[in-house]
Amino acid sequence: MSVNTIPHIHALLKPETIRVGMPGGTKREVIDAVVDLIAEHPSVRDVEAVRAAVLEREKVMSTGVGKGLGLPHAKTPAVRSTVAALAITDTPVDFGAIDNEPVRLIFLLVGTEAARSQHIKILSRISRLLNRDPFRQRLLKATSAEEVQKAFADVESELVGG
């Protein structure tokens, strides 16, 4: 995939990188758990370096973007290409969000430095999709990874073209 191409979110997510009903806990525990979801992804060279990059980015400013969404992300040479994971927690987590509301949706995005523009565009698309109340509610009601992936496919088909 070209670094100038914006992939569909549902194509970035795989059933093994989606966790529905993940235990809540602290922000750090949740970030660790969502990073663990990508540990076996073929594009991940070093999961501990990914974890360190995500946590370092989080120190700069919380990625709790509001409306119950945490969007931890980083750019690092520890991945070969863009990798994503999504966790839906069973209980809300204090993420230090800008609206001071706890989060249940944690979307992890990790990309390469070379794909900086793509990374920003993907973050923007995720934010735009998850800003839609009906879509967020659909995700929160999901009971399986496949249901989450289908929800993304449906909303992306509707909003950004199949």
d(CA 48, CA 39): 9
Phi, then psi, of 92 in degrees rounded to 5? -65, 150
Identify which of 70, 26, 73 has the alpha carbon closest to the alpha carbon of residue 51: 73
Q: Beta-carbon neighbour count of residue 119 at 10 Å? A: 20
d(CA 14, CA 32): 18
d(CA 120, CA 126): 10
If you ran DSSP here, which 8-state letter would residue 122 be given? H
Phi, then psi, of 31 in degrees rounded to 5? -65, -45
CA 10 vs. chain centroid, Å, equals 11
The residues carrying an active-site annotation are 73
